[in-house]
A and B are shown apart, each in its own frame.
Chain A
Amino acid sequence: MATVRLFGGLRRRARDPKISVDGVTARDVLASLCRDNPGLHAVIWDGARVRDHVRGLIGGQAIELGRGLATRVTADDEIAIFPPIGSGGNTT
């Protein structure tokens, strides 16, 4: 089972910020995560695709710059999911 870590407002919508989830690919993991935590579905998915600005990282690397949702996931992987973040600092 891979480990999913949730950040920002996603934490309020799940039972735990760190969850073990089954799945062979990133798509499977996200689907099963949202099945167990239905509150996450609407903020992560837009139909069959992941919403704009929702970021998924495996081992600190962006999923979408690799094989996307088809990326294979192992039990050692940690998948981090971030909601839209609008920042860049503001001390000027």
Chain B
Amino acid sequence: MHGWAGKVLDIDLSKGAIKNYPLDEETARLFLGGRGLGARLLWDAVGPGVAPLSPENVLIFATGPLTATGYQTSNRFSVSTKSPLTGTVLDANSGGYWGMQFKKTGYDALIVRGRAPAPVYIEIKDAGAKILAARHVWGQRVRATTQTLGQNNNKRNVLCIGPAGENQSRIAAIMNDGERSLARGGPGAVMGSKNLKAIVVEGTARPQVLDQEQFKFMLYEARKLLRQSPLTSQALPEFGTAVVLNIVNHIGALPTRNFQQSQFERAEAISGETLAEKYLVKNAACWACPIGCTRVSKTDKIEGALSGAEGGVEGPEFETTWAFGAQCGVDDLAAIIEANAICNDLGLDTISAGSTLGCAMELTEKGLLDSDLRFGRADLLAPTLEALGARRGLGAELADGSLRLAKKYGAPELSMSVKGLEMPAYDPRGLQGQGLLYATSNRGACHMRGNMLGLEVLGLPKLIDRFQVYGKSSYVILHQNASAAIDSLVVCKFTNLGVAEEYFARTLSAVTGVKYATGDLIRVGERVWNLERLYNLREGFTNADDTLPPRLLKEPVSDGPSKGWVNQLEPMLKEYYRARGWDERGVPRRAKLEELELGAL
């Protein structure tokens, strides 16, 4: 095969068995790699009713046909599993170096099954894989584990869990290359439940490209387009993702104090502009990325074990800044940088961690929970996160996310989540389409399964009315399908700000020799979306789960530019099901499944 390595590595930790087999060519054509391939393998591997933290669940690490080819941002990879936070299908993806290095060991995907009797790590080299004892790193934090196991960016790359994953926090991330994360939905807990501390990869095999000449031309085109776009050549390198905070706040869509308000009066203090002015050390980039959106920042609060070589830490990204900032009513950017560094070192999803803290703050202020947590208490972020990672005291309850916490204290409506996954940093009352996107996202509320921010706020590629309700579903569907396709290639979504899908399709054809027109690529995304939907239906999810927290449907925004608005989900949802070719209960119709070559499922 060209593009694909053509092999799957399959490790059963219960039996200590390691095998490999060829990647099915038809599956590769239909689902590409990454998220799509992961969903297809998961469909067969984890049937209905499996407990996510039992040995019967699996972890599937998957790259795509473009991974490691050297194409711009061809560094990314994904993990797929059944989520211990939501019970839905889950995939999370990450950048850095690990994905590229794993592909170079000669595999497209790794399936990890079972549970090791004692802590282990897996080492994969060209010559094969080994299961090794991990007693010496079990209990260590992420940065220490990564160093101990020999991280060396271009040669040997470490993916691991921290204490949060070992303690099976349902919001635990898997970390790679030190500070990159497969964050959402709790994949770190699944890895912890398997007694698997780390996966170390070292490979030398570059994937084969069929049409070298055309591939070189596509590389040249992408370089030119990324340079021409003011978004990828200036905006992202200069301010990273955090620059978006001010505009989201300005329009009245920045959820504040657990979504009680939609504007944060201290937004300027935690904005991307302030980050750049006061704390930025330098930019960094993932492998083969000319954009370099990553921030490295530094404050007095992060020293010693928490900080990297130059005393700095990666991030914080916009979502993280919001989660520990506006969501918790905190205006101390240094404390937010510290919270981000602690999450990365414990191996925690920053969005879910921050949002769960915000939920606990509201529960406390409403007299439902007895704790010290209050909105604005920047001083409590670090110690609370440490307790969460260790499952100590109140931390043991926070460790399972906001929905379980809020249910326990009698107010599930105060969890700002969809299907149990905490919502990111956009208030769906001020961005109607974003609300539909959150409600229908297969892994729970997510801004990476398509993002309406571009259309509803930034005008990318054009500006549409953010309060418009009718007609929104077609935009949402387009974005969801495109993002599923990009997650299956796998490249970084930021590339898509400069390079259109047509270029990805032409590159894919040049690399693999399989002809993909733009429509074929988007069709892969639609296929993946429908397969994920089928997985959730098989697990017992229904259209009743396609919803938003009651606050966003019933409590109008009290002030600011979104004043008076709730999210008008119902008419959008009806339109959405119809446009997707699903019935009124949100079940894909047979004709749609046949059209997508999913009829056999």
Contacts and interface: CB of A to CB of B under 8 A. Distances in A.
- Same complex: yes
Interface stretch (B4-12, B315-323, B368-376, B409-417): B315-323
Interface string A1-33: 000000111010000000000000000000000
B447 interface: yes
A89 B451 CA distance: 9
Contacts of A92: 92-94, 181-184, 448
Given A60-B561, A83-B235, A84-B230, A91 B451 contact: no
Interface in B458-479: 458-460, 463, 465
A89 B246 CA distance: 14
A86 interface: yes
A47 to B, nearest CB: 17
Interface in A78-92: 80, 82-92
A60 B252 contact: yes
Contacts of A65: 463, 465
Interface stretch (B46-54, B152-160, B236-244): B236-244
B164 interface: no
A90 B453 CA distance: 13
Interface in A45-66: 52-53, 55, 57, 59-62, 64-65
Contacts of A86: 229-232, 235-236, 458, 460, 494, 497
A60 B349 contact: no
B247 A91 contact: no
Interface string B285-317: 000000001000000000000000000000001
B333 interface: no
A90 B241 contact: yes
A9 B239 contact: yes
A55 B506 CA distance: 32
Given A85-B243, A87-B235, A89-B448, A11 B350 contact: no
A12 to B, nearest CB: 10
Interface in B73-114: 92-94
B250 interface: yes
B251 A84 contact: no
B38 interface: no
A84 B231 contact: yes
Interface in B165-201: 181-184
Nearest to A59: B561
A53 B458 contact: yes
A60 B253 CA distance: 10
A88 to B, nearest CB: 4
A74 to B, nearest CB: 16
A53 B236 CA distance: 13
A7 B236 contact: no
A57 B463 CA distance: 12
B575 interface: no
23 contacts: A7-B243, A8-B235, A8-B238, A8-B272, A60-B251, A62-B459, A64-B463, A65-B463, A82-B246, A83-B230, A83-B234, A85-B244, A86-B230, A86-B458, A87-B235, A88-B244, A88-B458, A89-B448, A90-B241, A92-B94, A92-B181, A92-B183, A92-B448
4 tightest CB-CB pairs across the interface, nearest first? A60-B561, A86-B231, A88-B451, A87-B244
Given A60-B560, A84-B235, A87-B235, 14 more contacts: A7-B247, A9-B234, A57-B250, A60-B562, A61-B561, A65-B465, A85-B231, A85-B239, A87-B244, A88-B453, A89-B317, A89-B447, A90-B317, A91-B350
